[in-house]
Chain A
Amino acid sequence: MADQVLNLKDIRKAYNIDTEVETEILHGIDLNLNKGEFCALIGPSGSGKSTLLNIIGLLDRPTSGTLAIEGRDTGALNDTELTKLRGQRIGFVFQYHHLIAAFTALENVMMPMLVQRGFADAAMQQRAEYLLAQVGLTKWQNNSSQNMSGGQQQRVAIARALAVNPALVLADEPTGNLDTKSAETAFDLMREVNTTNGTTFLIVTHNMSLAKRCDRTIEVIDGAIHGAV
């Protein structure tokens, strides 16, 4: 348990509860992730992968079931505590990069640290510079995200997800919008961070060749986990 980053037990998610159109999207998900695991989450479109990822990332609450991050049960936490835990222990990479255009690449990487501390400081900047160097974008650090290619933006987003040195990085189709070469680069980057830092990754992908290179593949079909865990 101590070495598990994530424990899901019987997670259910339903929309329009107590109405005639109530629909359950997730039907009791059990899932554990060990520290340092690099997992792919696959499944057909509409099967509930994003819904599950948002619940794991504490952006959304399950209708029922228990969710523990690093052994800490999250059921009793209020919104403020969930926000804090999310900011400190979870990193996100989204399909459409989602950088904030009003800030430079470097500032985007600093952002998770900045919202947590409230003020910028030199250590934050050094950390962001280090991460941008890791993703090979030192030369671009003062560029606005608008002037970067999709692959570059996604590398910035990966650097940003690592900023607070989170226990778990959740990536929702991070390579879905990239050309093959950029997709390779982004994937290799995440894999490299995983091996050097031991950061746990859960990556939603439709790319089977990338999924095969993960430690484990979890398949979601119609809101339930399919096959062996």
Chain B
Amino acid sequence: MNSNIPFEVTAAVRFLREGILQTLLIVVGVAVGVSVIVFMSALINSLQSNLMARVLSGQAQIVLSPPKQSARPMLQLGPNSVVRVVQTRVQQQTSIDQWIKLRTILSQMPEINAVSPMASGAALITRGSATRSISLLGIDPDNYYRIVNIPADMVEGTSRISGQDALIGKDLAEDIGLRTGDKLHVSNASGTNRTLTISGIFDLGNKGANLRNVIVTLNTAQGLVDLVGGVSSIDVNLNDAYAADAVADRIVSAHAVKADSWIKTNAQFFTAMNAQTISMTTIRLSVALSVALGIASVLVVSVVQRTKEIGILRAMGASQGQVLRLFLVQGGIVGLLGSIGGVLLARLMLVFWVLLARNPDGTNFFAIDITPAIYAWTAVLATAAGILAAAVPAINAARLDPVVAIRG
């Protein structure tokens, strides 16, 4: 007997080993349950973070724009009657008021990690007789690329732009037959013209965006969308994407801007994710419960089987606490062994998943990872669940009257 291991642990191991078949069955049962939980958790977590990353990589977490000019009633005749005279506004681009100052303030907020002003608007491009209406995005590359990773989406040329450079989408390039190095003629409704040079072609993974978006420098865009010196929006990214709502509210309350957080603009996406998380949690809890009940029922039987031995131990001076712990430890060991088996099984399931679940082109959907943290948590939780499940049988064992127990 090892002198560093407490009596309860030694005895628990011996008892489990003596009933090896019973022990193996329940450990396998626990392992199957744990593997389902681990595999499903890993799958859903990866799926969700993958979707999240896709959503986040293509858009800013907060978009600031000029406040809405609301139409106001001009005359109020009495408490219940209003003459609604709506003033029609000239269709005209407005800039965010004092945007340079606002950008400086935002850049200094510790929770914000990127601030990118943008001047955007509609324009036309022409090539020969072909004309296409496009969306011109005037950006400051260094800042904008920290929010939307255009360099990673380049299929041709370079994402570095300056002066009269432009980046166009893959589909637009195919549509009107343009390549890197070609000239691009851009004009707007008020008759301003520019000739730009295509320095690269991107693929945003979305045909609409690839057809419509043309990325140019802030300066170029300002001239083409009637926003000289102004910006139509400011993109903001945070250290914690989930703080977007709160930060957006704070910005709105302090500055004359409208702020849309990605959480609001992607509400449906979040609803779907939450539904998924809830159903996942339900499944996880039911599996965990049935695993715990399995451990408990095996130990209840074991206490009955060992009644006489419990009596002997008590006669030899074992305390109620020692008997209690002897059975709690058995529950914990079963939980621990089951979790180890479960994680191994989950790994196996993962190997199959990677083999089976592939995109049409043979690449994997997305990477699933069982992190060391998941291993550790699984072991800790399964052990705790085993101990908890053992509580009722262990209390029964500790409460056995030694006289009755010895009689058997």
Contacts and interface: CB of A to CB of B under 8 A. Distances in A.
Contact of B7 (A83, A94, A118, A164): A118
Contacts of A88: 317
A170 to B, nearest CB: 9
Given A59-B314, A86-B315, A100-B312, A79 B7 contact: no
Contacts of B317: 83-84, 86-88, 112, 115-116, 164
A75 to B, nearest CB: 18
Given A59-B314, A119-B6, A110 B406 contact: no
Contacts of A83: 314, 317-320
B1 interface: yes
Contacts of A92: 315-316
B399 to A, nearest CB: 11
B1 A54 contact: no
Contact of A59 (B6, B319, B402): B402
Given A86-B317, A88-B317, A112-B316, A60 B5 contact: no
A110 B2 CA distance: 13
A160 B316 contact: yes
B403 A98 contact: no
Contacts of A118: 6-7
A114 B1 contact: yes
A220 interface: no
* Interface residue range, chain A: 20 to 34
Interface string A80-105: 10011011100010100010111100
A117 B1 CA distance: 13
B160 interface: no
Nearest to B16: A102
A59 B312 CA distance: 11
B18 A101 contact: yes
A107 interface: yes
B370 to A, nearest CB: 36
Interface residues of B, number: 29
A60 B320 contact: no
Interface in B284-321: 308-309, 311-320
Interface string B389-408: 00000000000001100100
A119 B4 contact: yes
Contact of A119 (B3, B11, B15): B3
Contacts of B15: 102
A98 B309 CA distance: 7
A122 interface: yes
Given A114-B1, A119-B7, A59 B406 contact: yes
B45 interface: no
B41 interface: no
A102 B11 contact: yes
Contact of A79 (B18, B318, B320): B320
A87 B316 contact: yes
A174 interface: no
Contacts of A94: 312, 406
Nearest to A122: B3
B309 A100 contact: yes
Contact of B17 (A102, A107, A164): A102
Nearest to A111: B316
Nearest to B319: A83
Contact of B1 (A80, A87, A110, A164): A110
Nearest to B312: A98
A120 B5 CA distance: 8
Majority-rule SS of B interface residues: helix
B18 A115 contact: no
B6 A54 contact: no
Nearest to A94: B406
Contacts of B18: 101-102
A130 B91 CA distance: 105
Contacts of B4: 119
A60 B403 contact: yes
A121 interface: yes
| Residue among B4, B312, B402 with the highest chain A CB neighbour number at 10 A | B312
Nearest to B407: A50
Contacts of A103: 14
B277 interface: no
A57 interface: yes
B403 A59 contact: yes
Contacts of A121: 3
A176 to B, nearest CB: 15
B188 interface: no
B322 interface: yes
Contacts of B318: 83, 87, 115
Interface in A50-94: 54, 57, 59-60, 79-80, 83-84, 86-88, 92, 94
Given A54-B403, A59-B402, A83-B319, A119 B313 contact: no
Given A110-B1, A121-B3, A115 B322 contact: yes
Nearest to A99: B312
A225 to B, nearest CB: 21
A160 B312 CA distance: 11
B10 interface: yes
Given A101-B18, A125-B1, 15 more contacts: A57-B315, A87-B316, A87-B317, A100-B312, A102-B309, A103-B14, A112-B316, A112-B317, A114-B7, A115-B7, A115-B318, A115-B322, A120-B1, A120-B10, A121-B3
Interface of A: 54, 57, 59-60, 79-80, 83-84, 86-88, 92, 94, 98, 100-103, 107, 110-112, 114-122, 125, 160, 164
8 contacts: A87-B316, A88-B317, A100-B313, A101-B309, A112-B316, A120-B2, A120-B5, A120-B7
The 8 closest A-B pairs by CB, nearest first: A87-B317, A102-B14, A120-B1, A115-B318, A102-B18, A112-B316, A59-B402, A120-B3
